[in-house]
């Protein structure tokens, strides 16, 4: 349950981060785009006026009136390319180049660049696309008129400063938003998963206590059965008692490990699955000496994987146990490795109809062919938990009288 709470917080934080990043990206993208469009409008006006602003004053219009080419009065306003102040406040330079590549200054209204550097800069932009950014804050336009090629470069530093400030504010807001969201989600997670975690802890304590309490009467039953056999001899009743005691002991062992693999962290070491599988097959054969099914193991050689040795050993024991227990005549386990992926395939003959049986991995689930056999339906659920802890996959199916259990790591 603790892992579920952590996953909830991580996924929620990831979703919030993506949402905030997209929103702030749109805002900053629009801001930068507007700055570029404003610069293009200004350079377009300069292109119409051959690279320099044309101003004309008359007594009638008053001081500072600005006229476009053709005598049309400019649009008055504090912002935009038609502003009367634009001709005096814009930082820019324009050079005209003839066919031989010789440059001539048309306008030079910028202090940050010398005339020689500005000429070399403009010349370097010849042949580039019509408009674009040069440097970090300069917008340029290349255009032709009267047989010459003009290059105009304007400084948009002051205009882009607002966009940069929005970007910085956005980054600070993103960091603060993630911090606040993380704290809020942690609080919500504690309130939401707290009762569930407490119930889970109580359940585990109950299971552990029940497992301990059951061991005592089972030990007494086993000892009393042996005493009865010594006094009266072996009978069907005593054999049945031994079987039930073994079944209850197996159930106690399963209860003791119930849910352990979900909480236990994987300790990765190099493991030889072939050696583990051979040992697990020997254990399974010794557990069911009277079964007709003979378990065979096939492997192309040593198979090395990175994983938790104890968990993988338990998984292979459960798989081998399942193969021998439910195999009527034949049981086989194949271990292969292809393209860095290890696959364990367990097959045994069965009376189950064809189809998939992924429900076999659910706790306390027993299929139709397991009704008369010992077990509590927990073995394959342990297999699934171990496989999940190693980021693998497990599946089960029956076809043409063969039950197949497949595990990929």
| Nearest C-alpha neighbor of 309 from the set 269, 282, 275 | 269
C-alpha to C-alpha distance for 218 and 226, rounded to whole angstroms: 12
C-alpha to C-alpha distance for 333 and 350, rounded to whole angstroms: 15
C-alpha to C-alpha distance for 60 and 145, rounded to whole angstroms: 33
Evaluate whether 339 touches 300 at the Cβ level (below 8 Å): no
pLDDT of residue 56: 41
Does pTM top 0.95 for this prediction?
Answer: no
Q: Identify the top-confidence range among 85-99, 189-203, 233-247, 367-381.
A: 85-99
Evaluate whether 364 touches 384 at the Cβ level (below 8 Å): no
Evaluate whether 271 touches 304 at the Cβ level (below 8 Å): yes
C-alpha to C-alpha distance for 309 and 32, rounded to whole angstroms: 56
User: Around Cβ 160, how many Cβ atoms within 10 Å?
Assistant: 21
Ramachandran quadrant class, 393 (left: phi over 0; alpha: psi -120 to 50; beta: rest): beta
Instruction: Say which residues have a Cβ less than 8 Å from residue 386's Cβ, sequence separation at least 6.
Output: 261, 311, 312, 314, 315
Distances from the Cα of 253 to the Cα of 13, 140, 256, 310, 375, angstroms? 39, 78, 5, 15, 11
Mean pLDDT score across all residues of the chain: 78
Please compute the mean of the pLDDT values over residues 206-212 and round it to a whole number.
70
**pLDDT digits over 118-145, tens only?**
999 999 999 888 999 888 889 999 999 8
Pick the residue with more confidence: 396 or 339?
Answer: 396
Band of residue 116 on the pLDDT scale cut at 50, 70, 90? very high
**pLDDT digits over 72-104, tens only?**
444 433 456 667 777 888 899 999 999 888 999
User: Around Cβ 314, how many Cβ atoms within 10 Å?
Assistant: 21
Please compute the mean of the pLDDT values over residues 286-291 and round it to a whole number.
70
CA atoms within 13 A on the CB side of 315: 30
Residue 65: pLDDT above 60?
no
Burial of residue 195 (CB within 10 Å: 0-12, 13-18, 19+) is exposed
Identify the structural domains of the chain with CATH numbers, from first to last: 2-160 (no CATH), 266-408 (3.30.565.10)
Dihedral of alpha carbons 98, 101, 103, 109, sign: positive
**C-alpha angle 291/296/297, rounded to 5°?**
140
C-alpha to C-alpha distance for 163 and 114, rounded to whole angstroms: 27
**pLDDT digits over 15-53, tens only?**
888 988 898 888 888 888 888 888 888 888 889 888 888
Evaluate whether 87 touches 67 at the Cβ level (below 8 Å): no
**pLDDT digits over 306-333, tens only?**
888 878 888 888 888 888 877 777 788 8
């Amino acid at each position: 349950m603790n892992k579920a709470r952590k996953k909830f917080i991580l996924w929620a934080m990831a979703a919030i981060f993506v949402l905030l990043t997209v929103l702030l990206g749109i805002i900053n993208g629009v801001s930068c785009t507007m700055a570029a469009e404003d610069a293009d409008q200004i350079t377009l006006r300069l292109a119409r006026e051959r690279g320099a602003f044309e101003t004309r004053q008359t007594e009638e219009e008053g001081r500072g009136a600005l006229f476009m080419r053709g005598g049309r009065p400019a649009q008055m306003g504090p912002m935009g390319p038609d502003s009367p102040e634009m001709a005096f406040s814009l930082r820019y330079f324009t050079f005209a180049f003839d066919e031989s590549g010789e440059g001539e200054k048309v306008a030079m209204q910028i202090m940050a660049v010398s005339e020689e550097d500005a000429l070399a800069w403009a010349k370097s932009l010849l042949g580039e696309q019509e408009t674009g950014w040069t440097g970090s804050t300069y917008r340029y336009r290349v255009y032709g008129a009267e047989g010459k090629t003009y290059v105009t470069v304007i400084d948009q530093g002051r205009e882009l400063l607002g966009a940069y400030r929005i970007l910085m504010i956005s980054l600070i807001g993103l960091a603060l938003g993630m911090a606040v969201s993380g704290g809020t989600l942690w609080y919500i997670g504690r309130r939401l998963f707290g009762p569930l975690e407490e119930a889970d802890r109580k359940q585990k304590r109950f299971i552990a206590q029940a497992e301990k309490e059951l061991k005592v009467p089972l030990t007494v039953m086993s000892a009393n059965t042996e005493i009865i056999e010594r006094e009266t001899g072996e009978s069907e009743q005593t054999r049945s008692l031994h079987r039930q005691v073994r079944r209850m002991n197996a159930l106690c062992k399963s209860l003791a490990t119930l849910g352990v693999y979900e909480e236990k962290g994987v300790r990765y070491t190099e493991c030889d699955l072939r050696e583990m599988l051979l040992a697990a097959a020997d254990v399974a054969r010794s557990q069911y000496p009277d079964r007709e099914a003979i378990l065979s193991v096939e492997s192309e050689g040593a198979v090395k994987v990175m994983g938790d040795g104890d968990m993988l050993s338990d998984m292979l024991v459960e798989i081998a146990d399942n193969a021998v227990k439910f195999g009527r005549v034949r049981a086989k386990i194949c271990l292969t490795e292809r393209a860095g992926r290890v696959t364990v395939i367990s097959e045994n003959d069965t009376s189950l109809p064809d189809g998939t049986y992924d429900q076999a991995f659910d706790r306390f689930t027993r299929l139709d062919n397991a009704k008369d056999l010992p077990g509590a339906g927990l073995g394959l659920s342990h297999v699934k938990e171990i496989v999940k802890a190693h980021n693998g996959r497990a599946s089960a199916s029956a076809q043409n009288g063969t039950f197949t259990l497949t595990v990929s790591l």
